[in-house]
């Protein structure tokens, strides 16, 4: 959770020198290179079992492509890191809902009521910030959180049988036939203005957000249960707001703070109801 809380500020810094698509896809190449090193040193197979390929493709679609691309485009479209933190703060509830649907469980009505209330809070927040309209950036953030929820759920399921570091490593390797050529084309066809801040942001997004952060995350989801372990993300929006203020100098008013706390309260209810 600590690793992921810095993802939005890091992406903002990275996009100061690189195209949003290059940041979103290129960081997967950086993470994939680290994954190959980890797999080689451990003497593990470079590819996952064929029978699990479908699950790995879900992870690839969700957290290797979906979340980075959608969230990066949202930030490039004008959404601030603090605004994105509030909208994506609903992610633990979305992950719990995916876990419920994937496992065929039947939670209490309070669970679904809390999820719905959280969605209402996010909608009210986006409308208040968008002059009564849901912006394109908000829709991109919703797509990002749904993508991440699917990727988290599938990765958590696989991590029950496979170490978390191998799950994310294999997902990144499976994606490399797409990420490597796409990154090469983007690097040649988009404007690149690398600087210290953009390179640091890119490195963080690739090595921490895309790879190292997932190692304890998937392990925690496997041990504690996908929905229950997601409670650790309750503090993530508030931490991201702190990083946005400290690192980016973003200023946000009471509406943003109240929105973050309201989403946090709704997500906390989903976790209690789910349990």
Question: How many distinct structural domains can be found in the chain?
Answer: 1
Report which listed range, 82-96, 172-186, 204-218, 250-264, is most confident. 172-186
Please report, for the chain, how many H helices and E strands are present, in that order: 15, 0
263 has pLDDT over 80: no
Distances (CA, A) of 126 to 122, 142, 197, 249: 6, 11, 29, 21
pLDDT band at 230 (very low <50, low <70, confident <90, very high): low
- Tally of CB atoms within 10 A around 163: 16
The 8 Å CB, 24+ separation contacts for 158-162 are 158/52, 158/55, 158/56, 158/59, 158/218, 159/218, 159/219, 159/221, 159/222, 160/222, 162/48
260 has pLDDT over 90: no
The 8 Å CB, 24+ separation contacts for 173-176 are 173/32, 173/35, 173/36, 173/39, 173/46, 173/47, 174/47, 174/48, 174/53, 174/56, 174/57, 174/60, 175/28, 175/32, 175/60, 175/64, 175/65, 176/28, 176/29, 176/32
Distances (CA, A) of 21 to 44, 78, 205: 31, 15, 13
Residue 93 in contact with residue 118, Cβ under 8 Å? Answer: yes
Is the model more confident about 179 or about 253?
179
Query: What domain range includes position 120?
Result: 2-274
Q: What is the mean pLDDT of residues 216-242?
A: 71
Indicate the DSSP class of residue 60: I
d(CA 176, CA 165): 17
What's the pLDDT tens digit per position in 34-47? 999 999 999 999 99
pLDDT given for residue 234 in this prediction: 64
pLDDT given for residue 140 in this prediction: 93
pLDDT band at 130 (very low <50, low <70, confident <90, very high): low
pLDDT given for residue 137 in this prediction: 86
Please state, for a pLDDT cut of 70, what percent of the chain lies above it.
Answer: 88
Q: What is the SS3 assignment for 94-154?
A: HHHHHHHHHHCCCCCHHHHHHHHHHHHHHHHHHHHHCCCCCCHHHHHHHHHHHHHHHHHHH
Is the sign of the CA dihedral 70, 218, 116, 81 positive or negative?
negative
In 3D space, the residue among 118, 170, 152 whose CA is nearest the CA of residue 226 turns out to be 152
What's the pLDDT tens digit per position in 56-78? 999 999 999 999 999 999 999 88
d(CA 113, CA 166): 36
pLDDT given for residue 82 in this prediction: 78
Distances (CA, A) of 186 to 18, 128, 189, 274: 10, 36, 5, 43
Report which listed range, 90-104, 121-135, 206-220, is most confident. 206-220
């Amino acid at each position: 959770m600590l690793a992921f809380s810095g993802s939005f500020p890091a992406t903002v810094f990275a996009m100061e020198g690189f195209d949003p698509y290059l940041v979103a896809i290129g960081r997967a190449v950086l993470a994939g290179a680290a994954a190959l090193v980890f797999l080689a040193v451990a003497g593990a197979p470079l590819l996952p079992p064929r029978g699990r390929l479908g699950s790995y493709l879900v992870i690839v679609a969700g957290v290797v492509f979906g979340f980075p691309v959608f969230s990066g485009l949202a930030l490039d479209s004008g959404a601030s890191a603090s605004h994105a933190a509030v909208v994506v703060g609903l992610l633990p509830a979305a992950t719990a809902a995916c876990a419920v649907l994937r496992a065929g469980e039947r939670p209490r009505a309070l669970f679904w009521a809390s999820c719905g209330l959280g969605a209402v809070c996010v909608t009210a927040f986006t409308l208040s910030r968008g002059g009564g309209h849901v912006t394109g950036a908000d829709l991109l953030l919703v797509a990002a959180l749904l993508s991440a929820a699917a990727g988290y759920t599938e990765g958590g399921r696989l991590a029950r049988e496979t170490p978390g570091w191998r799950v994310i490593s294999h997902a990144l390797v499976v994606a490399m036939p797409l990420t490597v050529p796409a990154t090469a084309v983007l690097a040649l066809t988009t404007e690149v203005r690398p600087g210290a801040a953009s390179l640091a942001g890119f490195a963080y997004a690739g090595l921490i957000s895309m790879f190292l952060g997932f190692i304890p995350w998937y392990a925690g989801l496997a041990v504690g249960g996908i929905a229950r372990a997601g409670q650790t993300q309750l503090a993530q929006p508030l931490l991201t707001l702190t990083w946005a203020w400290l690192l980016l100098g973003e200023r946000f008013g009471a509406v943003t703070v109240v929105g973050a706390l309201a989403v946090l309260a709704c997500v906390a209810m989903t976790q209690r109801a789910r349990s």
